[in-house]
Amino acid sequence: MSPSSVVIGVDSSTQSTKAAVVDAAAGRLLAVGRAPHEVTGTEGARETDPETWWSALRDALAAALKEADVPAAAVTGIAVAGQQHGLVVLDSRGRPLRRALLWNDTRSAPQAAELTERLGGPRAWTARTGSVPVPSMTATKWQWLRAHDPDTVRAAAAVRLPHDFLTERLCGTAVTDPGDASGTCWYSTATGSYDDELLALLDLPARLLPAVAPTGGTRVGSLTPAAAAELGLHEGVAVAAGTGDNMAAAIGLGLGREGLLDHAALSLGTSGTVFAAGLRRPDDPSLAGFAAADGTYLPLACTLNCTLAVDRIATLLGLDRDDAAPGGETVLLPYLDGERTPDLPHAGGLLTGLRHATTPQQLLGAAYEGAAFTALRALDAVLEACGPDAAAPTAADRPLRLVGGGARGRTWIETVRRLSGRPVVLPESGELVALGAAALALGAATGAEPVAAAARWSAALGPLLPALPRDTETWDRLEGVLASATPALLG
């Protein structure tokens, strides 16, 4: 029997779009449609035509609705969670002037360093935005564009983040949310608004930016007639402000004021991210001190090199991704695309400790260890940013929620358990970003609190794996190699 009301959660990520059709009452995932994106670029460049995201949303939604077999009239709300930080520049008709610069485009490393210095250093930035400019942040990409494509800058009528672009296509309203806005480095988490001094520093007119909704679940409009016709829905569907993908994943996990505070999650995907929802505004320069979509905060550390980097090493070795063994004396830091945390934008991969007896399986295991170590290294800082309760010794007994594509891989799971020494929960749903977006859509349609709704849906439930003894020998070896090699990795 079809539910009387469904909501749509859209996960527009780096590589693809997923559209989830969710039973609004029970949170049951009825169907997920998928459509790929094209990412182009070499030597640090990563770009996508924003129109690809819209066509992928349309195609993914059509596939999901067909599979779910629900009438269009049952859809009551829609929300988009998008990859963070991407720079989208539009003309006066809302059309892209060029391909979007994606979060993992590292060409703006010189601009990041320059911006950090011009404001007075890392602490000056975290006092305002919660974060320090790194090549991932949107402000650095705007500065890169000013230097390398001034014609586009002069022609710009609007500047958007990826999820803002899609939300505006849905409802015709230029709007963002505090969560995704906090990843730009021109929005202040201290004041909850755009920072005029930073906009002046960037020579970015405020009129080019969207308004900021109070939360990601705020209703910002309804589907326009054009969007409704293209998507096969009706014009009354509520559109939420939406948010960034990490913020939506937190909601899908039930992390927030109306759910779990000070509990950490590790997402193993194209990037590796560690985050937790807390009530204290983060100001640690080693972290991204984001706002969350529900009015709390989301301190986060992100690594560029995670599952794709390890898969690349497996391909080079001619091994299946799970044909791995602990690395032993071998250390492999798989910084194949530079790195964000730690901030090493010009780094390459580093391999040391080879012996005659080293096996290909150990080399692959060392790649897993290097990637997991890089992500887990920031876990303590993330929890400290949430407050004393999150960083207390007893907090180590709180399970680490492991999500993303890597959470379905046996070697990823065992490597994280071994290096973290924490119990691990494996949420059964693999679509937490889309489910978090669906909870935001429910908020827009009904006024429900999204984190509480996601908690009722039980999307974050799954097997609990007990803690293993922490492999301090491997951890200390990795820490030592990183410390001694950092000057060379800085390029």
pLDDT tens digit sequence for 56-80: 999 999 999 999 999 999 999 999 9
**191: nearest Cα among 128, 247, 137:** 128
Q: Which residue has the tokens 């009530």?
A: 279
CA distance 230 to 170: 10
Tell me the average pLDDT across 172-201. Answer: 97
Residue that terminates a domain, selected from 221, 245, 269: 245
Q: What is the pLDDT of residue 16?
A: 95
The answer to whether position 168 is within a domain reads yes
| Residue 261 backbone class (left: φ over 0; alpha: ψ -120 to 50; beta: rest) | beta
Tell me the average pLDDT across 7-17. Answer: 96
- Selecting among 195, 245, 262, 284, the annotated active-site residue is 245
Residue-wise pLDDT tens digits, 302-350: 888 999 999 999 999 999 999 999 999 999 999 998 887 888 888 899 9
Q: What is the pLDDT of residue 489?
A: 73
The answer to whether position 238 is within a domain reads yes
Q: Are residues 240 and 266 in the same domain?
A: no
The answer to whether position 255 is within a domain reads no
| Residue 71 backbone class (left: φ over 0; alpha: ψ -120 to 50; beta: rest) | beta
Q: Which residues pair with 36 in a beta bridge?
A: 16
CA distance 438 to 47: 27
Q: Are residues 226 and 269 in the same domain?
A: no
| Residue 203 backbone class (left: φ over 0; alpha: ψ -120 to 50; beta: rest) | left
Amino acid found at 352: T
The answer to whether position 45 is within a domain reads yes
Q: Are residues 335 and 188 in the same domain?
A: no
The answer to whether position 441 is within a domain reads no
Q: Are residues 270 and 295 in the same domain?
A: yes
CATH of residue 387:
3.30.420.40
Q: Are residues 88 and 236 in the same domain?
A: yes
Q: What is the pLDDT of residue 419?
A: 96
Residue-wise pLDDT tens digits, 145-165: 999 999 999 999 999 999 999
Q: Which of 102-106, 364-368, 369-373 has the lowest mean pLDDT?
A: 102-106
CA distance 111 to 380: 29
Q: Are residues 16 and 70 in the same domain?
A: yes
Task: Supply the range of the domain harboring residue 20.
Answer: 6-245
Tell me the average pLDDT across 111-131. Answer: 96
Split into its structural domains, the chain has a count of 2
Tell me the average pLDDT across 9-20. Answer: 96
Residue pair 79/242 in contact (Cβ under 8 Å)? The answer is yes
Q: Are residues 161 and 227 in the same domain?
A: yes
3-state secondary structure the chain: CCCCCEEEEEEECCCEEEEEEEECCCCCEEEEEEEECCCECCCCCCEECHHHHHHHHHHHHHHHHHHHCCCHHHEEEEEEEECCCCEEEECCCCCECCCEECCCCCCCHHHHHHHHHHHCCHHHHHHHHCCCCCCCCHHHHHHHHHHHCHHHHHHCCEEECHHHHHHHHHHCCCEECHHHHCCCCCEECCCCEECHHHHHHHCCCHHHCCEECCCCCCEEEECCHHHHHHHCCCCCCEEECCEEHHHHHHHHCCECCCCECCCEEEEECCCEEEEECECCCCCCCCCEEEECCCCCEEEEEEECCCHHHHHHHHHHHCCCCCCCCCCCCCEEECCECEECCCCECCCCCEEECCCCCCCHHHHHHHHHHHHHHHHHCCHHHHHHHHCHHHHCHHHHHCCEEEECHHHHCHHHHHHHHHHHCCCEECCCCCCHHHHHHHHHHHHHHHCCCHHHHHHHHCCCCCCEECCCCCCHHHHHHHHHHHHHHHHHHCC
CA distance 249 to 184: 19
Whether residue 397 lies in the annotated active site:
no
The answer to whether position 404 is within a domain reads yes
Residue-wise pLDDT tens digits, 273-313: 899 999 999 989 989 999 999 999 999 998 889 999 999 99
Residue-wise pLDDT tens digits, 16-38: 999 999 999 999 999 999 999 99
Q: Are residues 153 and 50 in the same domain?
A: yes
Percent of the chain with pLDDT over 90: 84
Q: Are residues 380 and 314 in the same domain?
A: yes
Q: Are residues 202 and 327 in the same domain?
A: no
Asked if the bond preceding 388 is cis, omega within 30° of 0, the reply is no
Residue-wise pLDDT tens digits, 401-424: 999 889 999 999 999 999 999 999
Residue that terminates a domain, selected from 245, 272, 291: 245
CA distance 365 to 416: 12
Tell me the average pLDDT across 457-463. Answer: 85
Tell me the average pLDDT of the chain: 94
> Is the pLDDT confidence value at 15 over 70?
yes
Q: Are residues 229 and 292 in the same domain?
A: no
Residue that terminates a domain, selected from 210, 245, 280: 245
How many residues are recorded in the chain? 491
* Tokens describing residue 437: 């977006």
Q: Are residues 66 and 158 in the same domain?
A: yes
